């Protein structure tokens, strides 16, 4: 696939507890994106603080860390053309109240602090690589061709 991009996505503890992993994976697959890595895991304090490091000086930082470490998450790496922007559009706005119906947050989120899903920021160059490297070793990511790729891309 030409111009393939990889992006980091995580079903947060609220999404895991609500049984939304399968629904979220299905939506991303139906869109045409390809999962190249997936990991069901419990995030520890150090990883949480590093992941949310850009918010360290903000008043909501401790709450973010407490929440993301409160239960298991499903961390994933997805691949496709313009994958980061595609995922961000599918996720909806950070605040579910501002998310359109049909987006993941618009359909499943009710509260800013419990918004079901995280995805790398397409406006932050390097966010994908940084977040993928935090959660995955290179040998945990696969390179393969899906049979439908010829029907998805020119």
**Residues sharing a CB contact under 8 Å with residue 13, sequence separation 6 or more, in sequence order:** 67, 68, 70, 71, 72, 73
Q: Which of 14, 44, 25 is nearest to 110 (CA)?
A: 14
Annotated catalytic residues are 118
Spatial distance between the Cα atoms of 151 and 154, rounded to a whole number of angstroms: 8
Residue 54 corresponds to which tokens in the numbers above?
């850009």
C-alpha distances (whole Å) from 1 to each of 7, 73, 129 are 15, 29, 19
Distance from C-alpha of 10 to C-alpha of 131, rounded to nearest angstrom: 10
**Bridge partners, 118 (sequence order):** 10
């Amino acid at each position: 696939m030409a111009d393939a991009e990889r992006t980091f996505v995580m079903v947060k503890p609220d999404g895991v507890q609500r049984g939304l992993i399968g629904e979220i994976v299905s939506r991303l697959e139906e869109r045409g994106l390809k999962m190249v890595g997936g990991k069901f895991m419990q995030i520890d304090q150090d990883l949480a603080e590093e992941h949310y490091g850009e918010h360290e000086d903000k008043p909501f930082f401790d709450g973010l860390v407490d929440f993301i470490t409160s239960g298991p998450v499903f961390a994933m790496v997805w691949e496709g053309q313009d994958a980061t922007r595609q995922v961000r559009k599918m996720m909806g706005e950070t605040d579910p109240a501002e998310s359109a119906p049909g987006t993941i947050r618009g359909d499943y989120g009710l509260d800013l602090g419990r918004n079901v899903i995280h995805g790398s920021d397409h406006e932050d160059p390097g966010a994908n690589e940084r977040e993928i490297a935090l959660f995955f070793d290179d040998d945990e990511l696969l390179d393969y061709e899906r049979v439908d790729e010829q029907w998805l891309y020119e």
